[in-house]
Amino acid sequence: MAGAASALFLLDIKGRVLVWRDYRGDVTAAQAERFFAKLIEKEGDSESNDPVVYDNGVTYMFVQHSNVYLMIASRQNCNAASLLFFLHRVIDVFKHYFEVLEEESLRDNFVVVYELLDEMMDFGYPQYTEARILSEFIKTDAYRMEVTQRPPMAVTNAVSWRSEGLQFKKNEVFLDVVESVNILVNSNGQIVRSDVVGALKMRTYLSGMPECKLGLNDRVLLEAQGRATKGKAIDLEDIKFHQCVRLARFENDRTISFIPPDGAFDLMTYRLSTQVKPLIWVEAQIERHSRSRVEMLVKARSQFKERSTATNVEIELPVPTDASNPTVRTSLGSAAYAPEKDALVWKIKSFPGNKEYMLRAEFHLPSITAEEATPERKAPIRVKFEIPYFTVSGIQVRYLKVIEKSGYQALPWVRYITMAGEYELRLM
């Protein structure tokens, strides 16, 4: 981080200071008043959503949660994004301790709040932000704090995200490779925008302090090893790792090596900006008969191989706002009119690959319309789905090894899931 925080303030909805912690001695409590005055000035501006305010040599970074403002003030040239991320971690920790973060819970737990702020930041630099680690030496019970007499495990251990001494009867690792497909198709059937956002989501139940190694069909790694890459390797883009991954090791030989946190976490996220063929294609033909009736013919086609099956498919079809009395027939699944969405929702539990299904619907419109009717909004068709055992990118886990000094055998479980993200097709 380029610079450090000077102080952290917790304010109520009217800008009054509930708690503040001074870290560097170069700001005063009056800075909170200046911040709130600038915030009120900003409310009328087009940039009122900007979470950073600058005034008279002090930068204010803030987030609002419920009826509380969390604000960091700094006189240094600091990394605003990093400190805003820290504020969100503070919110997560407070919610872990108090269940609900609001003015009342802060007033009831002043002592614990100060203790947490002391542990989470030192001289303006973020320290421990993992709630599970903080819980080992800052404990609450009905608004009371108990501090353990032994030194916290995280302090005696270089791995701040994992406690020592964990024991499980059954040592297991679950890895889900989850890809979300974002796609926008215009009214001419052309793909305007498409990308894939992926995440390697892990849940670990491992004893001791295990070392994990993960291998993917990464093109750079396979070519470095002299392996054939034709059709079996992928180019990973925009990779982001959890803090447990040894980045130097990855940059050196593309090995993903790490000591995992306990429980659930995202090991890695990535993005592929390559053109994606729509996995489920939807066409809609709309016919108006005079002004009293609308007919809709919809075709939905799966454009993936037969061996895969999409589940929980949901196709949201926009209908006129004044439509009523729908009559619907489908070749598969069921459809229901959702007037609150001005849409017809077609649900298909199981949609095999390389198949096409149809929906016919008829709506009645009011026979009398306003002379100056507002232009009909052209909402897109929205599609939701999940395809298990399938990835768009072709990413594959080649191996997942768990090594621990006690020598136990761990069971790794790997699943692949593709789902719809922002998946929209404009009406033709």
Looking at residue 263, its pLDDT comes to 92
CA atoms of 94 and 115, how far apart (whole Å): 11
Q: What is the pLDDT of residues 215-257, one digit of tens each?
A: 887 665 555 455 544 445 566 778 899 989 998 888 877 789 9
Radius of gyration for the chain, computed over Cα atoms and rounded to the nearest angstrom: 27
- For 196-207, write each residue's pLDDT tens digit: 999 999 999 999
Pairing of strands 411-425, 172-185: parallel
Which segments of 43-148 does DSSP mark as H helices, in order? Answer: 80-98, 103-108, 110-120, 131-134
Tally the residues of the chain: 428
Domains, the chain, ranges and CATH? Answer: 7-156 (3.30.450.60), 172-276+392-425 (2.60.40.1170), 280-388 (2.60.40.1170)
DSSP three-state, residue 242? coil
Asked whether 328 and 363 are in contact (CB, 8 A), the reply is no
The β-bridge partners of 126 are 121
d(CA 10, CA 108): 14
Closest CA to 300 of 309, 313, 312, 287: 313
Q: Closest Cα to residue 363, out of 427, 297, 283?
A: 297
SS (H, E, C) 138-175: CEECCCCEECCCCCCHHHHCCCCCCCCCCCCCCCEEEE
Tokens encoding 149: 């007499």
pTM: 0.63
Over the stretch 279-335, which tens digit does the pLDDT of each residue have? 999 999 988 877 778 899 999 999 999 999 999 999 999 988 888 878 999 999 999
Exposure class string for 36-50: b at 16+ Cβ within 10 A, else e: beebeeeeeeeeeee
% residues pLDDT > 70 (the chain): 86
